Amino acid sequence: MRALLVLIGLAVALGGCDREERKLAKLPSAAPSPATGERRGDLQPGQKGSGLEQTTSSRSFDGKNAFELAQGKRLFRWYNCSGCHSMGGGGMGPALMDNRWIYGHEPDDIYRTIMEGRPNGMPSFRGRIPDAQVWQIVGYIRSISGLAPKAAAPGRNDGLAVTRPENERERATPRNAPGSG
Amino acid sequence: MSATHPPYPLGAAPAPSLETRGAVRAGDALDVRALPSYGFGASSLMWWGTLGVMAIEGTVFAMAAVAYFYLRTQADEWPLGVPPPKLLWGTLNTLILLASAIPNQWAKRAAQRHDLEGVRRALPICIAFAVAFIVVRAFEFTTLECRWDTNAYGSIVWMLLGLHTTHLLTDFADTAVLAVLMFTGPLEGKRFADVAENAVYWDFVVLAWLPIYAVIYWAPRF
Amino acid sequence: MQGLHDVLQPAGPAAAHIATLWWLTLAICAAVFIAILVAFLIALVRAPRADAATPPDLAPLGSAEPRTRLVVSIAVACSIVGLLLLLAGSIAADRALARMPEDDALHIQVTGHQWWWDVIYDDPQPSRRFQTANEIHIPVGRPVLLSLQSGDVIHSFWVPNLAGKKDLIPGHILTLRLQADKAGTYRGQCAEFCGLQHAFMGFEVIAESPQAFAAWSDAQREPAHAPSDPGTTRGHDLFLTGTCMMCHAIAGTPAGARAGPDLTHVASRKWLAAGAVPNDPEHLAAWIRDPGQFKPGAQMPPHAVPKDELDALVAYLETLR
Amino acid sequence: MTDAYVAMPEPAAAQALERTWRDPPGFLGWLAAVNHKSIGRRFIVTAFGFFVAAGLLAAVMRLQLSRPDNHIVGPDLYNRIFTLHGTAMMFLFAVPVMQAMAVYLVPLMIGTRSTAFPRMTAYAYWVYLFGGLMIFIAFLLAMGPDNGWFNYVPLSGPQYSSGKRSDFWAQLITFTEVSGLLVSVDIITTVFKLRAPGMTLARMPLFVWAMLVTAFMIIFAMPAVMLSSTMLIMDRLVGTHFFNPADGGDPLLWQHLFWFFGHPEVYFIFIPALGFMSSIIATFARRPIFGHTAMVLALIATAFFAFGLWVHHMFATNVPDLGKAFFTAMSLMIAIPSAVQIFCWIATLWKGRLYMTSALLFTLGFFFILVIGGLTGLILGSVPLDLQVHDSYFVVAHLHYVLIGGAVFPLFGAWYYWFPKITGRLMDERLGRWNFWLFFIAFNVTFYPMHHLGLEGMPRRVYTYAAATGWGPLNLLASVGAVVIALSVLLFIVNAVKSLRSGELAGPNPWRAPSLEWAADSPPAAYDFAAIPVVASREPLWDARPAPSHVTGLATDVREGVSTTVIDALPDHRYTFPSPTPWTFLAAVATTVMFISSIFTPWAVVWGSIPIIITLIAWFWPTREETAKHLALEKRP
């Protein structure tokens, strides 16, 4: 019985450590400048920025850490993503709660969508949002349709309940479906 | 120094004789061989244990009801954005619960008479009632007009109803286990005391329902 | 961080009422403590020593010990009197606090955020309202009505020299009355645990003459001036095209986000980061580059910006006086 | 007169009793044990273990705070440390250790052989142990709660506390509440129904009174926090809105429910300690406590008042004026019963002859420390003063003066006092005195400066502070004191281990104390008393032996005892105690699996209940063999 408990403990340990550690924002040792003067055109939809290849390699997030998902949710609100995507239900922008992914559901796809922008309204946030935060937002966006571990996904907000909390969402098997958006 | 005592303030009355219920003095000792080996009601330890559990659960219910009215004081309208729960199923269940006190009382009386046949007749009826009110309870949840995550009103009524439902389920399980035991054995006299105490707990579950029913179904109407 | 923060050096009527009550209470409590301790020590000294072989004294079983009873009853009666005195003092002080004047009060809205203070000076004329952060100026001798609310979790507003604390609770708006009778800088800090940087959620209340206050508030109402030289213009552009404007506001520019403190007159403030960092160009640059070295867990992200850009940005921010 | 109080049984009868009452052999037998002394010992040792662990956390905090701008631990780790320190000290040490002492001592003090529901006691212990292990394991895995022992929403709610940290806290509450409530029911029933014949309520020792009062308080206070922690975990897991102000909830609901429990909780730590004080002072002052009746009434009055002052933790929120005056008055009035007890003890000491032992020294420490803590408590009860010192280091000083002075010092005294009863050997007096003086001086060095830090504006729960605040020197002083406290606790452990091995043999009544536990062997036989004593006095071992002096006619092959009436303790019936069973342990395991799983999925409440039901049925289902034995002894009422 005890051995079993120890085993359960160890199993939880392996999952637990990573999932709950709070990696507080640190200055990246040799990170590219997020606020370079390269970027031009203020929040123009669909403008492709430069330097995409290097940024995907500086990925700092595996989408399973509860603290980073919660930070992503906070930033989603602060940066007014909900202005177009509502709380994930969609509005001016496409819904994020369903399983339809116009530009792909892989973290790299979502990262690219945020950084580059997409036609028909999605602006580019390159240089607007630091890389590490973009990854937090990516993780959070995936949690909206249940693609993050439930034990790490955020709970309800202290706000008006519009949708079910992320940690109750069932995983919606993603379908990459290019569409009108 | 003497063996008899000067009066103490709390125990001013002279101590009554210890030779009660069959305990007798045997030389330097008090022989308790002839005492009964179990008791009913306040005599029984399990009765006190049950009373303790009822005090705990009663406090939980009371606290939940206080939370209900506290939240109500914070709200501009009540219930929040939904109509009050429909009365049909809740009222029906109140009647079933009250009616269930009758077979429950039969079981208790039979147990106190050590009437095994009587207990065996009453307990299945109790269980039938339990099944009935658990089924009706399921319908009650549908009449709340809201979900637990609709708003704080939804949360608290679901919690109140959920808490009481937990008691229905445990009481059902207790009674079922006891009923099986009364049919299969092994039996001893103490089991009759258990049946009687289970009946006390049942009464508690029924009586606790009345204020909860009032809070859930009638408070939002006033 | 400098500035007074001491409950027993009141600089205003609210804190003064409490300090008076404090000394009264302390006197009563000290008297009680000494009386109990003396009785206790005398008992220890006068009681004869015993050991395991000493037979117990059973005489008390037969007697009500009337003299001891009398002494104990008198002691209990004295404690009740002491408690009633304390209660009276407490209620009197509470009344005095409740009766503090409100006429012509200055209205200030304070909103607590993890981990800084958003401060809005209210005015019947909307155009005269202005917003700042982490530094509250008040005129000496004029009552101040603070309306306290929270943007996230519970915080507590506490300036020991001026008044007792009051919580900032989501879903509630609480008010706190205070007044400074002496000019000076009084330090305050969040007193309710609010997460990672609860330790560095400070602010300052600067009480100054009504003239100085008027001058300060007029300056605060001004929007930021457009930059004039190329260095600061570059900083201005960087601010508006980079990450800064995603969270901060500078009146007079397109930057209007409210996730972080208002920066319209950031250079006029003594401290950065809610009292954690002195406000001078070097510290400002260090803060922008790596806030985590001062406040690990702060919401402001680090910026690995090239030095020339950082200098330009700091140069621009230093113009916001 | 002492030694002969309980008649010696015949050797054959004693052997039969020993066979009936001892724990089953082997590791499985260890798991199945239900003897109140086995469970009590485990309970005490476990609680002491949590005390040491939580104390080490405190040492880390003092290290971190010893100088300004320190970065030995970061804010995240610091928050987890102070949260676990407070949570473990309150929920895993202070309340359980008092109940543990009661589980061990109450049956001995009232002259019976077991608690009323020994299996339930065993189950309560296992649940408590597993809950405690859970929270410490969670801490080691970076999943430990980090919002303080009071876990205020919304900081601990779904939006601001990510992951499962708060949920572990909420479930720890569930574990300790289940355990604490069950033990309370057990203690009440034991005290009401199992007192030795003749031990009327008026003759009951003050410690038993204290535990009875405490058990009642727990029953009426703990449900509040159980409810609020359930609401919290539901807010976090299934999206309810109890504490969401945007959807009709209110964060202050949490504070009301938490403090409705939290303030009485201080008293369920303090009141048992008052019971220790009375036991120890009577023995070592060599006379009955002055004002026994007043002491009992004071305990009961304290319990009532304790439910009327929770709002003094919330004066900085918006409390209406009338409410403030009421709660101030209550907060001051609760000092009266405490004053009554303190004066009665001083009178007892004044008129007694003092046998100076380490046990007495520790209880005397109470008079200095608790009185300061009580007086600063009056300051916190006064609304205007509270608004200044609330949530500052002044409160940290106050609460440690109250809890350490009011509970830990008497508890250490109790350990020195009852160690010979539990182990059969006396503790070393010389080490005991070192232990006391180091602890006493270091305690004041550590916590006294915190009063001043609070008045100088230092808030609680800060992981560090800037040098310019000027708080450095006093903090350093406090940290030095903390190191010495740690040393003194180490000295206690050394003393206990050394005395356990080679301490002087104690004999049944080394202190020549008056209450019944000292009539049993040291350590007591598995059956406590060879014959259940009959009581005719409040100080049975000091007074002459009554006639009749003991009970005969109880079975030796079944765990049997005498149940008596509630008030007069007249013989009522022979009560058969349940026998050892491994099902209590298994039920606790099933409960643990359900509680921990329900942190992750609400459905665990459904499927997790099935193993619990199965183990409980197996626990309650009678065996034919036992039933046959019972039938042989049965007599209907």
Determine the average pLDDT of the residues in D47-60.
97
**What confidence tier does D4 reach under pLDDT thresholds 50, 70, 90?**
low
In which residue are the tokens 């920066």 written?
Answer: C263
Residue A172 has pLDDT above 70, yes or no: yes
Same domain, C158 and C236: no
Q: How far apart are CA D493 and CA D227, in angstroms?
A: 38
Q: Å from A75 to nearest chain B CA?
A: 24
pLDDT digits (tens, 9 = 90+) for D141-158: 989 999 999 999 999 999
The residues facing C204 across adjacent strands are C135, C187
* pLDDT value of residue B2: 37
Read off the pLDDT band of B8 (50, 70, 90): very low
Contacts of A165 in chain B (CB under 8 A): 149
- Predicted pLDDT of residue A180: 45
Q: What is the pLDDT of residue B10?
A: 41
The 10s digit of each residue's pLDDT in A109-150 is 999 999 999 988 899 999 899 988 999 999 999 999 899 998
pLDDT band at A14 (very low <50, low <70, confident <90, very high): low
The whole-number average pLDDT for the span B155-174 is: 96
The pLDDT assigned to D7 comes to: 56
Instruction: Judge contact between A161 and D247, C-beta under 8 A.
Output: yes
φ/ψ (deg, to 5) at C288 = -60, -40
User: Quick check: is C278 in a domain?
Assistant: yes
Q: How far is C237 from chain D (nearest CA, A)?
A: 34
Q: What is the 3-state secondary structure (H, E, C) of chain B?
A: CCCCCCCCCCCCCCCCCCCCCCCEEECCEEECCCCCCCCCHHHCHHHHHHHHHHHHHHHHHHHHHHHHHHHHHHCCCCCCCCCCCCHHHHHHHHHHHHHHHHHHHHHHHHHHCCCHHHHHHHHHHHHHHHHHHHHHHHHHHHCCCCCCCCCHHHHHHHHHHHHHHHHHHHHHHHHHHHHHHHHHCCCCCHHHHHHHHHHHHHHHHHHHHHHHHHHHHHHHHC
In angstroms, what separates the C-alpha of C70 from chain B's closest C-alpha?
16
Report residue A42's pLDDT band, with 50, 70 and 90 as the boundaries.
Answer: very low
| Closest of D535, D302, D513, D290 to residue D414, by C-alpha | D513
| Interchain proximity D163–A67, CB inside 8 Å | yes
Is it the case that residue D597 has pLDDT exceeding 70? yes
Establish, for the pair of chains C and D, how many residue pairs have beta carbons separated by less than 8 Å: 279
- pLDDT, tens digit, 9 for 90 and up, residues D448-483: 999 999 999 999 999 999 999 999 999 999 999 999
Examine the pLDDT at C185 and tell me if it is beyond 90. yes
pLDDT, residue D285, reads 95
- Of D68, D97, D64, nearest in space to D466 by CA: D68
- Is residue A38 in some structural domain? no
Entry pTM: 0.94
Confidence band for C314, pLDDT divided at 50, 70 and 90: very high
The span from the CA of B218 to the CA of B85, in Å, is 9
For residue D445, pLDDT over 90 is answered with yes
**pLDDT value, residue A52:** 30
Tokens of D596: 């921990």
D10 vs D498, higher pLDDT: D498
In this predicted structure, the answer to whether residue B4 has a pLDDT above a threshold of 80 is no
In a domain, C136, yes or no: yes
- Band the pLDDT of A90: cuts 50, 70, 90: confident
Pair (C141, C195) in one structural domain: yes
Q: Are residues C82 and C208 in the same domain?
A: yes
Digit-coded pLDDT (tens) for D628-637: 999 999 999 8
Average pLDDT over residues A53-58: 40
| Beta-carbon separation of B149 and D613 below 8 A | no
Q: Is pLDDT above 80 for B16?
A: no
C7, C143: one domain = yes
Nearest to D349 among C43, C49, C65 (CB): C43
pLDDT-based confidence at A173, cuts 50/70/90?
A: confident
Give the span between the Cα atoms of D149 and D176, in whole angstroms.
13
Q: pLDDT (tens digit, 9 = 90+) per residue, D197-252? A: 999 999 999 999 999 999 999 999 999 999 999 999 999 999 999 999 999 999 99
Residue C240, domain member (yes or no): yes
3-state secondary structure of D387: helix
Over residues D528-575, the pLDDT tens digits come to: 999 999 999 899 999 888 888 899 999 999 999 999 999 999 999 999
ipTM: 0.93
pLDDT bin (cut points 50, 70, 90) of residue A17 is low
Question: Is there a single domain that holds both residue C294 and residue C211?
Answer: no
Q: A164 and B149: CB-CB below 8 Å?
A: yes
| Residues of chain B positioned with their CB less than 8 A from the CB of C61 | 5-6
D159 contacts in chain C (CB < 8 Å): 152
Q: How many domains does chain C have?
A: 2
Q: What is the pLDDT of residues C156-165, one digit of tens each?
A: 999 999 999 9
Instruction: Identify the pLDDT of residue A171.
Output: 85
CA distance D618 to chain C (A): 46
Of C191, C217, C243, which residue constitutes the final position of a domain?
C217
DSSP H helical ranges for chain A:
2-20, 52-57, 66-78, 82-85, 107-116, 131-144
Q: How many Cβ atoms from other residues are within 10 Å of residue A119's Cβ?
A: 9
pLDDT score of D2: 42
> How far off is chain B from D553, nearest CA to CA, in Å?
4
> Which residue, D257, D219, D218, D220, is CA-closest to D235?
D257
CB within 8 A of D379, min separation 6: which ones? C22, C25, C29, D385, D386, D389, D394, D398
Listed residue (A47, A49, A24) closest to A35, CA to CA: A49
| B9, pLDDT greater than 80 | no
pLDDT number for residue D236: 94
C-alpha torsion D499→D505→D509→D511, nearest 10 = -50
Taking the Cβ of residue A127 and every Cβ of chain C, the question of whether any pair is shorter than 8 Å is answered with yes
Q: What pLDDT score was predicted for residue A13?
A: 57
Hey, which chains touch C, using 3+ CB pairs under 8 Å?
A, B, D
Structure tokens at B84: 């009050």
Q: Can you tell me the mean pLDDT for D26-52?
A: 96
How many domains does chain A contain in total?
1
| Interchain pair D79, C196: CB under 8 A | yes
Whether C246 and C111 share a structural domain: no
- Of chain D, the percentage scoring pLDDT greater than 90 comes to 91
**Same domain (yes/no): C99, C204:** yes
CATH, residue A168: 1.10.760.10
Residue with tokens 């003759």: D203
- D335 sits in which H/E element: helix D335-350
**Is A158 in a helix, a strand, or coil?**
coil
A136 domain residue, yes or no: yes
Structural contact between residues C141 and C181, judged by C-beta atoms closer than 8 angstroms: yes
User: Residues A22, A23, A24, A25: is their CA dihedral positive or negative?
Assistant: negative
Q: Indicate whether C156 belongs to any domain.
A: yes
The residue out of C179, C194, C217 marking a domain boundary is C217
Residue range(s) defining the domain that contains residue C113: 1-40+71-217
| Residue A48 forms part of a structural domain | no
pLDDT score, position A91: 77
Tokens describing residue C175: 């008010």
* Residue A140, in any domain of the structure: yes
Tell me the average pLDDT across D610-627. Answer: 94
What pLDDT score does A60 carry? 65
What is the per-residue pLDDT across B58-69, written as a single tens digit (0 to 9) for each?
A: 999 999 999 999
Q: Residue B9: closest CA among chain C residues belongs to which residue?
A: C64
Residue D295 token pair: 């002491």
Eight-state DSSP code of residue C197: T
**Mean pLDDT, chain C, as a whole number?**
93
Which of A35, A129, A158 is closest, CB to CB, to C170? Answer: A158
Residue A103: inside a domain: yes
Q: State the DSSP H helix or E strand holding residue C135, giving kind and residue range, or none if neither.
A: strand C135-139
Which of D159, D237, D600 has its CB closest to that of A158?
D159
Range of the domain at A82: 65-156+164-181
Indicate if the alpha-carbon torsion angle D529, D534, D535, D539 is positive or negative. negative
Tell me, what's the pLDDT at A89?
75
Burial class (CB in 10 A: 0-12, 13-18, 19+), C307: exposed
Three-state secondary-structure class, residue D428 = coil
Interface touch C304/A26, C-beta < 8 Å: no
In a domain, C223, yes or no: no
- Output the pLDDT for position A35: 41
**Of D564 and D8, more confident:** D564
pLDDT in tens, B134-146: 999 999 999 998 9
- CATH number of the domain enclosing C304: 2.60.40.420
Cα atoms found within 13 Å of the Cα of residue A16, Cβ hemisphere only: 21
Q: Do C26 and C110 belong to one domain?
A: yes
pLDDT band at C106; cut points 50, 70, 90: very high
Confirm or reject contact between C52 and chain B (CB < 8 A). Answer: no
Residues D415, D417, D420, D421, CA torsion sign: negative
Closest by CA position to D240, among listed C131, B155, A14: B155
The model's confidence at residue A36, banded by pLDDT at 50, 70 and 90, is very low
Residue D112 or residue A33, greater confidence: D112
- Evaluate whether residue C62 is within a structural domain: no
Listed residues C160, C188, C217: the one ending a domain:
C217
Contacts of B72-77 spanning 24+ positions with Cβ under 8 A: B72/B219, B74/D248, B74/D249, B74/D250, B75/B152, B75/B153, B75/D248
| Cα separation of the two ends of chain C | 21
The shortest CB-CB distance from C242 to any of A74, A79, A127 is to: A127
C165: tokens are 């604390």
Q: Which candidate from A12, A16, A154 shows the least CB-CB separation from D158?
A: A154
Whether C109 and C196 map to the same domain: the answer is yes
**Alpha carbon of B5 to those of B13, D205, D522, D569: distances in Å?**
11, 16, 29, 17
Measured between beta carbons, the chain B residues lying within 8 angstroms of A156 are 149
Look at chain C and count its residues.
321
Please choose, from the candidates D114, D232, D218, D213, the residue with its C-alpha nearest in 3D space to the C-alpha of residue D176: D218
Average pLDDT in chain D: 94
Structural domain includes residue C181: yes
- Rounded mean pLDDT, B8-22: 63
Tell me what pLDDT residue A37 has.
Answer: 39
Report the distance separating Cα D118 and Cα B49, nearest Å: 12
CA distance D262 to D296: 23
Whether residue C90 is found in the same domain as residue C239: no
Q: Are residues C148 and C203 in the same domain?
A: yes
Residue D521: is it exposed, middle or buried by C-beta count within 10 angstroms (0-12/13-18/19+)?
Answer: middle
Residue C267 lies in a domain: yes
- Rounded to a whole number of angstroms, the distance from the CA of D236 to the nearest CA of chain C is 15
**Per-residue model confidence (pLDDT) at position A53:** 33
Of D47, D85, D36, D46, nearest in space to D63 by CA: D85
- C157 and C16 in one domain? yes
Q: Number of H helices and number of E strands within chain A? A: 6, 2
What would the pLDDT profile of D284-328 be if each residue is shown by its tens digit? 999 999 999 999 999 999 999 999 888 889 999 988 777 888 888
